[in-house]
Each structure stands twice: as structure tokens, then as C-alpha cells.
Amino acid sequence: MPNELRVMMLTWEFPPRIIGGISPHVYYLSRSLAKNAAKVYVVTCDFPGAPQHETLDGVEVYRIDSYKNPSPDFASWVYLMNMNMQKEAASLVRELGGVDIFHAHDWLVANAGIGLKHVFRRPLLATIHSTEYGRRNGIHSDYERMIHETEAWLTYEAWRVICCSNYMVSHVKWVFGLPEDKLVMIPNGVDAKECEKSEDIDLNQFRRKFALPEEKIVLFVGRLVYEKGIHVLINAVPKVLEKVNAKFVVVGNGYMQQSLSEYIKNIGFAHKVMFTGFVDDRTLRNLQKCADVSVVPSLFEPFGIVALEAMAAKSPVVVSDTGGLSEIVEHEVTGIKVYPNNPDSLAWGISRVLLDENLANRLRENAYRKVVEKFNWDKISQQTKKVYKNVLNEYSRTFWA
């Protein structure tokens, strides 16, 4: 198609390389942009077995050699990876005869994005998915400050900064001192069809692998780290069991796993909590479909994609009233909100859903409808494309054009 918008996406993770939420985000965004008449070139890190170049649903994916340089620590690895990413991306842009816009996701590709912007004199957009300040609850060392300043540098150099929730917009505005008109809120999305897709398996049979027939399933999905609030859920276990017979299924890995499973053993509820570790996508979807309630007890949550996925799988959700979760869930309409870091409040929310079938069904229906209406990728990619168009329009009046 002539005059097609050409976007170069920079991301440190893209399927099959999945470390956090950026990978699926960039995948779905790129795919729907490609469907909406944009040419998308994704430049990302390599992954064992994945090809250096492939065309995936209309998206051109380039994987660069990212473990070429020995590195003393993670941040140094990131900067060295950026050196290689920028080098490869520069060759690619030259080969393509130019692109219209660069779009970088988080500080992990800041250097490459900033360098390419100046070398090719094209606008740079940044999506800030999370901040060092938020992840660490403050800045406590030179290492953290360096990352924080790199994030600030990226937002400084970006023409627009996209955040996935109003909470993140105000957080990013405050933490980097950005002018308001530089920030845009575009929500994260979820592929409802994929979450809901029923497979030819007997869900009752599948359910039996995790819980007894008389036990309700309470599902937690996330890294087992402090900011995800898994310890709040563990502390809520005895309180929930006073009221209703349930099995707590905990999916994910993290440094807190051992101490939490020892704790649960010591208080005599080991048979009520199951740690599954990391599971594949299909098992996760089926678990979400079986769950009588999905719990997201995070203390810090820029967006809360896991709540959306549960909602798309028609599982009722109980979330802590914080960050992006506050915006996704409407209390008593699309889910139940509870006080963050409060096991009593969390236990109340879980019991409320498990003991009231009518409420649970109402939450499922409303939540699903909300997901399809507001958080669908088609809509999100159109909003994103509008931002590209606006930026390019402004750009066309500068001396760079």
C-alpha cells in the first residue's frame, strides 16, 4: 500500500521471548497495527530457536544478537544490548530507505531509540510500562538512580509518552516532571477471543488436577514477589477458610515462594495451597476458566493485565484498589475492590464472591462486556495510530522534516 505508515518498534522482549508484560503488549499492538494499514518493523532480542527475521501476521520481526558482549551486571548488559540493537536497526533503516517513526518500550531500549531518533531525524515515541521508582518504591542506590535517570532521559527525548493507565500518567508526570501535554493514556489490551477460546478438553477432569470437587478455586497469577502482594493472599487463607471450603492455586515463580510455602505448612494449611510454578499459556487459560475467583492483591500495579485476562476468561475478580487495577475494575459491577495490603479486606472480598453465586455471575458478565468494549486491541491500535499521525503532523512543520 502506498503512503503506508512505517513504524519501527524497539522492545527487549517479543514472543517467544517472554519475560514480562511488554512482550505480549508489543505483539498484540504490532499485529493490530499491521491490520490497520501500518507497516511495523519490530527490532528485538534473540531467543534460542527463533529466526533472525520472520514475518508474523504481517509484522516484520528482526531479532538481534543480544548476548554477544560479556556484561558485569544487568544494566550494563542492557546498554551493551542497545549498542548492538542500534547498530542493527541503523542498517535496517538504511536498507528500507527510512521509517516514519520510532517507538520504544521502557528504558530497556532507551539508548537505541534516542540514537536512532537523532541519526535519522525521525520522531521517537516512548511507552512507559513501569518505572524504577515504582518497582523499588523509591530510589535507594546509584544503580537504581542510573536506571531512573535513563527512564527520565527517554521521556525527555520522546515526542510523546504513552502510559497504559491514568494512574501511570500521573505517576510518570510526577516522577519525571513531564509537561501534561506530552502524556497520552492508551489502555493495555487483551485478546478476549483467545482467553475465552474453549478447547476440546473436559474442564471438570482438568479441574480435578488442582482441587477436590467440593473445593472452590481461588486463583493467583503473578510473580511471587513483594510488590504483587502474594503474602497478603497467604495471610488471608485461614480467614477465607473459616467461611468457605476453597483451594488456593498460586501460579508463578519468585523469590518469596520458599518462605511462603514454609509458612503455610507451619500454620497447617499446606493441603489448601498449591504452588504450580510457571505454567504454559493453555494451562493458564483453562485454570482461569475453572477459577471461582481470580485474585490480584498487588501493592504496586501500573496496569494489571492479569486482571483483564481473568475477566476475559469470565472469571470473577477481586483486586486491590491501587494503580491501574482501580481503573480496570468498577466495585461491585465488574469485580470486587479491596484495601491494598490488608488480608482481612482481601478475605472479605474473596468470601463475598464465593458465597454469592448471583453476584459472581453478574460480575463475570459485566466484566467480560467491559473487556470487549474498552480493552480490545483493534481500538487500542487505532488510538495509537492516531498518536503517530498527530506526531507526524507536528513533525512536518519542523526543520527536521
Note the residues at the interface with other proteins (CB under 8 A): 68-73, 75-76, 79-80, 82-83, 86-88, 90-91, 93-94, 111, 114-115, 118-121, 142-143, 145-146, 149-150, 153, 156
CB-count burial class (<10 Å; 0-12, 13-18, 19+) for 251:
buried
C-alpha cell at position 364 = 463475570
CB of residue 73 vs other proteins: minimum separation in angstroms?
7
Report the SS3 class of residue 56: strand
Beta-strand relationship, 59-64 and 53-56: antiparallel
Of the two residues 96 and 212, which places its CB atom closer to other proteins in the complex? 96
Of the two residues 86 and 127, which places its CB atom closer to other proteins in the complex? 86
C-alpha cell at position 156 = 525527555
CB of residue 94 vs other proteins: minimum separation in angstroms?
6
CB of residue 87 vs other proteins: minimum separation in angstroms?
5
Of the two residues 56 and 139, which places its CB atom closer to other proteins in the complex? 139
Rounded CA-CA distance 98/271 in Å is 59
Of the two residues 73 and 180, which places its CB atom closer to other proteins in the complex? 73
CB of residue 121 vs other proteins: minimum separation in angstroms?
7
Of the two residues 139 and 274, which places its CB atom closer to other proteins in the complex? 139
CB of residue 23 vs other proteins: minimum separation in angstroms?
24
Q: Which residues contact 168 (CB under 8 A, 6 or more apart)?
A: 128, 185, 302, 303, 323, 324
Whether the CB-CB separation of 188 and 164 falls below 8 Å is answered with: yes
Nearest CA-CA partner of 175 in 139, 223, 224: 139
CB of residue 392 vs other proteins: minimum separation in angstroms?
19
Starting at the earlier edge strand, list the strands of the sheet with 216-221: 273-277, 246-251, 216-221, 293-296, 317-320, 336-338
CB of residue 182 vs other proteins: minimum separation in angstroms?
17
Of the two residues 80 and 241, which places its CB atom closer to other proteins in the complex? 80
Of the two residues 3 and 397, which places its CB atom closer to other proteins in the complex? 397
Of the two residues 90 and 372, which places its CB atom closer to other proteins in the complex? 90
CB of residue 369 vs other proteins: minimum separation in angstroms?
45
Bridge partner list, 53: 62
CB of residue 124 vs other proteins: minimum separation in angstroms?
11
Of the two residues 91 and 382, which places its CB atom closer to other proteins in the complex? 91
> Largest alpha-carbon pair distance within the chain?
70
154: left (phi over 0), alpha (psi -120 to 50) or beta: alpha
Rounded CA-CA distance 374/7 in Å is 24
CB of residue 401 vs other proteins: minimum separation in angstroms?
12
Q: 3-class secondary structure for 167-218?
A: HHHHHHHHHHCCCHHHEEECCCCCCHHHHHCCCCCCHHHHHCCCCCCCCEEE
Of the two residues 142 and 181, which places its CB atom closer to other proteins in the complex? 142
CB of residue 297 vs other proteins: minimum separation in angstroms?
33
Report the SS3 class of residue 308: helix
Grid-cell match 478455586, residue found: 217
Total residue length of the chain: 401
Of the two residues 34 and 85, which places its CB atom closer to other proteins in the complex? 85
Rounded CA-CA distance 180/170 in Å is 9
Measured over the CA atoms of residue 246, residue 300, residue 104 and residue 66, the dihedral's sign is negative
Nearest CA-CA partner of 221 in 262, 182, 254: 254
